[in-house]
Amino acid sequence: EIVLTQSPATLSLSPGERATLSCRASQSVSSYLAWYQQKPGQAPRLLIYDASNRATGIPARFSGSGSGTDFTLTISSLEPEDFAVYYCQQRSNWPQYTFGQGTKLEIK
């Protein structure tokens, strides 16, 4: 089973700042990695798929990078609505997939 480790567990930043979230896989997942955003009481929302492709309707301030075992989600300038929990998901052996444990992005 592929294990995804996200860091940091919590990230405290202010609106307008840049956020960098990391996801490391226990073995290579090539570029088959996605990022989700989840707000309280809501289902997750897909932000990025295949490591660097923005999903439909996702603002350009969200970008993803990486391949193999190390991946990054960057939010270039935080908006108030971006404070949420973010999960990475590996899709290398679809339709079997796993999620990271999440990074909580909170307002400083």
Partner 1 sequence: QLQLQESGPGLVKPSETLSLTCTVSGGSISSSSYYWGWIRQPPGKGLEWIGSIYYSGSTYYNPSLKSRVTISVDTSKNQFSLKLSSVTAADTAVYYCADPARDYWGQGTLVTVSS
Chain residues binding partner 1 by CB under 8 A are 1, 34, 36, 38, 43-46, 55, 87, 89, 94-102
Closest CB to partner 1 among residues 15, 59: 59
Q: What is the dihedral of CA 10, 25, 30, 17, to 10 degrees?
A: 10
Structural tokens at position 27: 């073995």
Closest CB to partner 1 among residues 77, 93: 93
Residue pair 25/33 in contact by the 8 Å Cβ criterion: yes
Closest CB to partner 1 among residues 29, 34: 34
